Amino acid sequence: MEDNQSDAGKGTTMKSTIGNQLHLSLFGESHGAAVGVVIDGLAPGIPVHPEFIQHQMDLRKPKGKISTQRQEADQVRILSGVFEGMTTGTPICLMIENQSQQSRDYAKSKDLARPSHADYTANEKYRGYQDYRGGGHFSGRLTAPLVAAGALCLDLLKSKDILIGSHLCQVAGIEDDSFSADFKQLKEEISRMNETYFAVLNPKAQQKMQEAIEQARKQGDSVGGVVESVVLHLPAGVGEPFFHSIESTLSQLLFSVGAVKGVEFGDGFALARMTGSKANDPFRMENGRVVTSTNHNGGINGGISNGMPIRIKTAIKPTPSIYQPQQTINLATYENAELKIEGRHDPCIVHRARVVLDSMIAIGLVDLLIERYGLMWFAGDPK
Ligand SMILES: Cc1cc2nc3c(=O)[nH]c(=O)nc-3n(C[C@H](O)[C@H](O)[C@H](O)COP(=O)(O)O)c2cc1C
């Protein structure tokens, strides 16, 4: 195909790096040797707990019939930046080997662009040089190192009593109960969800969601859903005006995750239908602390935390790779074609993506907290 951009190729293609104070560089492909991340900007003297990293990795792993049958050990190797169980302050490289590739599944249909996946757009951008196997750099596999990096940040936040938790508030149109407005109960729900693989508050809703996923799988189809996340005990005053606001920082990270198609803070789109008298969150003093009676704005005013729980909803689309025949184009000939997908895919991503979203929120908040309090706020005492 003719390239009609006169300046095509002049820009850099290295855009897998993010962060203002805490820099993250993501690398790897689904069927390459490994996936991983380099984290630069964490203070020295922070304890690293490999068992917690592994616990988080296990929450992202596919399990049972409601997930892809690709089974990876997902063992995280710490290649640098950690010595005697503590961060050194220099770049941390986390690497996860790929062990369960079945690239032949992709060879047959390598020129057939999967609708709603990145095959066509990656081919346009990378001129056919992209690693197409298993979605290459655009695979959900790339979220494994993000969970490993997120585990370091979640641990760090926990050391300051800042807690993050999420549940699947909707899957295939089936709704879960809401998180509690009572802080004590919310704290208990967060810790319960953080120990649960399929994170749903109401067991009946959980069963119905799993049945809907199983039914979609049998029909060669897929389903999507919404994840609700909360951040508890984030102090007031965190976040920068305009471009590094809590909303702009977290939404960039959340939208970086494949299949995320919507992010809202507080009551989000519903606020647009409210009047000011309903939407405003009145301030009051409670036991010497500033609180708001309601939390329609999700704990954020002017891009800055007000001390109330941060509330975020993230919409995840149905998995693009489905087993029903689909109309597409052939990228080698640019002719119409029919695609019948092989390979192993998730009939639903939502339950596995939950821990990825928690990780992205943690990474963004650590970045903003370093901006607010300085790098050494997190550092250990000098030896
Ligand atoms: C944890 C996780 C697992 C995923 N697994 C699959 C999968 O098995 N098959 C698939 O087609 N897409 C999967 N995806 C979604 C694709 O990565 C994503 O749809 C694709 O990169 C296109 O990006 P977009 O949906 O944001 O446009 C997964 C995403 C995540 C977060």
Range of the structural domain that residue 40 is part of:
17-377
10 inside domain: no
**Ligand 1 nearest atom to the CA of residue 320, by list position:** 11
Protein residues whose CB sits closer than 6 Å to any atom of ligand 1 = 68, 117-118, 135, 138-140, 143, 257-259, 317, 319-321, 345-346, 349, 352-353, 356
Nearest residue (by CA) to ligand 1, atom 4, is 140
**Ligand 1 nearest atom to the CA of residue 260, by list position:** 26
Nearest residue (by CA) to ligand 1, atom 11, is 321
100 inside domain: yes
pLDDT of residue 333: 96
Pocket test for ligand 1, best of 117, 147, 254 (most atoms within 8 A of CB): 117
351-373 pLDDT, tens digit per residue, is 999 999 999 999 999 999 999 99
Q: How far is the CA of 200 from the centre of ligand 1 (A)?
A: 21
288-346 pLDDT, tens digit per residue, is 999 999 999 999 999 999 999 999 999 999 999 999 999 999 999 999 999 998 878 88
Selection from 366, 382, 319 nearest residue 347 by Cα: 319
**How many other C-beta atoms are found inside a 10 Å radius of the C-beta of residue 58?**
13
pLDDT of residue 6: 47
pLDDT of residue 72: 79
Q: How many domains does the chain have?
A: 1
Question: Is residue 174's pLDDT more than 90?
Answer: yes
**Ligand 1 nearest atom to the CA of residue 259, by list position:** 25
Q: Tokens 């959340």 map to which residue?
A: 254
Q: How far is the CA of 348 from the centre of ligand 1 (A)?
A: 10
Looking at residue 233, the DSSP 8-state letter turns out to be S
Question: Is residue 2's pLDDT more than 50?
Answer: no
pLDDT bin (cut points 50, 70, 90) of residue 69 is confident
Gyration radius of the chain over CA positions: 21
Q: How far is the CA of 331 from the centre of ligand 1 (A)?
A: 20
Q: Which two tokens stand for residue 164?
A: 């993050």
pLDDT bin (cut points 50, 70, 90) of residue 11 is low
* Cβ neighbourhood burial of 307 (10 Å; 0-12, 13-18, 19+): middle
Nearest residue (by CA) to ligand 1, atom 6, is 140
State mean pLDDT over 52-68.
Answer: 90
Return d(Cα 320, Cα 228) in angstroms, integer: 22
Question: Is residue 62's pLDDT more than 90?
Answer: no
383 inside domain: no
204 inside domain: yes
4 inside domain: no
Q: Which residue has better confidence, 73 or 216?
A: 216
Nearest residue (by CA) to ligand 1, atom 18, is 258
23 inside domain: yes
State mean pLDDT over 194-201.
Answer: 97
5 inside domain: no
State mean pLDDT over 273-290.
Answer: 97
109 inside domain: yes
- Residue 147 vs residues 216, 345, 381: alpha-carbon distances, Å: 27, 19, 27
pLDDT of residue 107: 74
Note whether 232 and 186 are within 8 A (CB).
Answer: yes
pTM: 0.95
Question: Is residue 13's pLDDT more than 90?
Answer: no
CATH number reported for the structural domain that contains residue 202 in this entry: 3.60.150.10
pLDDT of residue 380: 84
Nearest residue (by CA) to ligand 1, atom 12, is 319
Return d(Cα 356, Cα 349) in angstroms, integer: 11
Nearest residue (by CA) to ligand 1, atom 3, is 140
Secondary structure (DSSP) of 99-134? ----THHHHTTTTBPPTTSSHHHHHHHHTT-S--GG
Q: What percent of the chain has pLDDT over 90?
A: 85
Selection from 156, 148, 158, 161 nearest residue 43 by Cα: 156
**Ligand 1 nearest atom to the CA of residue 117, by list position:** 22
116-163 pLDDT, tens digit per residue, is 999 999 999 999 999 988 889 999 999 999 999 999 999 999 999 999
Note whether 358 and 166 are within 8 A (CB).
Answer: yes
Reduced to 3 states (helix: H, G, I; strand: E, B; else coil), residue 342 is coil
Nearest residue (by CA) to ligand 1, atom 22, is 117
Close Cβ partners of 315 (under 8 Å, ≥ 6 residues apart): 224, 225, 226, 260, 261, 262, 263
